[in-house]
Amino acid sequence: QKEVEQDPGPLSVPEGAIVSLNCTYSNSAFQYFMWYRQYSRKGPELLMYTYSSGNKEDGRFTAQVDKSSKYISLFIRDSQPSDSATYLCAMVTQGGSEKLVFGKGTKLTVNP
Amino acid sequence: ETGVTQTPRHLVMGMTNKKSLKCEQHLGHNAMYWYKQSAKKPLELMFVYSLEERVENNSVPSRFSPECPNSSHLFLHLHTLQPEDSALYLCASSPGPFQETQYFGPGTRLLVL
């Protein structure tokens, strides 16, 4: 089993839809969970990061972590065409031998 | 310039060439990273430097040679590359090593012929 699994999509939704992006992981040592957005021909840009299980909200974006299920999600409300990008999850262990792993990324298109 | 910059943005090289990629961060961070991004694959962490000292080398072939002369600059020296090394090479920095807040540069798109 891969350490981090992320469905590469592509995912296509109409403008205004709620988008749900997900990753699962197998290593219980991961402590921090991040979501990056990558536009075409650009480097990834950090959107949000969370530490504990639960929800974290920032504008139209909500990051959710369920450590018991080893499952993280990113929700985008009222999606806009400008949200069209590839979304990468990432996670890192802390304390001792650090490990940083990215998912493959999910390509999202929001159609006007 | 602000943030993390990378040069060149595009590079085409033959298998016998030697070239270098450059990264500079203007954020006052202490850690810098090289990643390889290939189509349909996760970002692969190649090297991590903390205060100019290499703290991670993820089984990267010796044809890739990193150099970190100071905490603001990072180089990736390339020699005798293979076509499968064609990819987007991304540099990132963070306040400390393996921290969750990494800032990426725009990448260098490398094509090896």
Please give the pLDDT value at position B109: 95
Instruction: Report, in this order, helix, strand and coil percent for chain A, each rounded to 5.
Output: 5, 55, 40
Instruction: Quote the percentage of chain A above a pLDDT of 70.
Output: 96
Please give the pLDDT value at position B32: 95
Please give the pLDDT value at position B53: 84
Please give the pLDDT value at position A95: 66
Please state, rounded to an integer, the average pLDDT across all residues of chain A: 92
What distance in Å separates residue B41's CA from the closest CA in chain A?
Answer: 5
Q: How confident is the model at residue A4 (pLDDT cuts 50, 70, 90)?
A: very high
C-beta atoms of A49 and B104 within 8 A: no
Using a CB-CB cut-off of 8 Å, the residues of chain A touching B6 are: 43
Q: Region A7-32: what's the mean pLDDT?
A: 93
Tell me whether A103 touches chain B (CB under 8 Å). Answer: yes
Q: How confident is the model at residue A99 (pLDDT cuts 50, 70, 90)?
A: confident
C-beta atoms of B43 and A41 within 8 A: no
DSSP, collapsed to helix, strand or coil, labels residue A13 as strand
Please give the pLDDT value at position B47: 93
Tell me whether B94 touches chain A (CB under 8 Å). Answer: no
Q: What is the pLDDT of residues A57-94, one digit of tens each?
A: 999 999 999 999 999 999 999 999 999 999 999 998 87
Cis preceding-peptide flag for B69 (omega within 30 of 0): no
Tell me whether B107 touches chain A (CB under 8 Å). Answer: yes
Q: How confident is the model at residue A2 (pLDDT cuts 50, 70, 90)?
A: confident
**How many pairs of residues across A and B have Cβ atoms under 8 Å apart?**
52
C-beta atoms of A43 and B107 within 8 A: yes
Q: What is the pLDDT of residues A35-46, one digit of tens each?
A: 999 998 889 999
Please give the pLDDT value at position B46: 94
What distance in Å separates residue B104's CA from the closest CA in chain A?
Answer: 6
Tell me whether B97 touches chain A (CB under 8 Å). Answer: yes
Tens of pLDDT, residue by residue, chain B (113 residues): 569 999 999 999 988 889 999 999 999 999 999 999 998 788 999 999 998 888 877 789 999 999 999 999 999 999 999 999 999 999 999 998 887 789 999 999 999 99
